[in-house]
Amino acid sequence: MAYQCGLRVSEAVKIKIADIDGELKTITIRNSKGNKDRAIPLPANLYFQLREYWKTHRNIRLLFPKRKSKSKKFDRKNTTEHIPIRTAQQVMNLATKDAGILKKATFHTLRHSYATHLLEAGLNIKTIQQFLGHSNLRSTIIYLHLTNASEKRSVEILNELMEDF
């Protein structure tokens, strides 16, 4: 989810059920950095995965509710607290380890990858800025990394443009 929506870890853990619009396929990120709200696209496949995940706890308020106790039987359905950021980071660490990824990967790494892949796919940098919730375009530019594929494609485009000169 963090990658498919370009979320900060602090944004991901705080998502409320009411922030998800299944019809428009958007998530409203509330009180983000700078106390701003923004609506971001929610890929359809992720929407359906989140619906299935929600069925595991059925909390009416939170997408990622905190356990009330450490016992095997816990009540996430009625809790009003979201999972701690540290818990989400630990889950990320376990997932990368289980996937055999040796290079350190964090929520922020996923956010950078999201921005880079959107640019490579042809999205306008201003749109990417809006999706990331940056007030300053310079912040967005820092997130964009040149990959081998985009460098190769850039050379191909340049060659096509200059072919007739």
Among 36, 58, 97, 108, which one carries the catalytic annotation? 108
Note the pLDDT tens digit of each residue in 3-39: 999 999 999 999 999 999 999 999 999 988 878 899 9
User: Is there a catalytic annotation at residue 111?
Assistant: yes
- Which of 79, 67, 60, 56 is CA-nearest to residue 20? 60
Architecture of domain 2-162: Orthogonal Bundle (1.10)
Among 8, 14, 82, 114, which one carries the catalytic annotation? 8
Note the pLDDT tens digit of each residue in 99-149: 999 999 999 999 999 999 998 898 999 999 999 999 999 989 888 876 667
User: Is there a catalytic annotation at residue 108?
Assistant: yes
Residue 146 has a pLDDT of 66
Split at pLDDT 50, 70, 90, the class of 152 is: confident
Indicate the domain borders of the chain: 2-162
CB 133 within 8 A of CB 38: yes
**pLDDT exceeds cutoff 60 at 72:** no
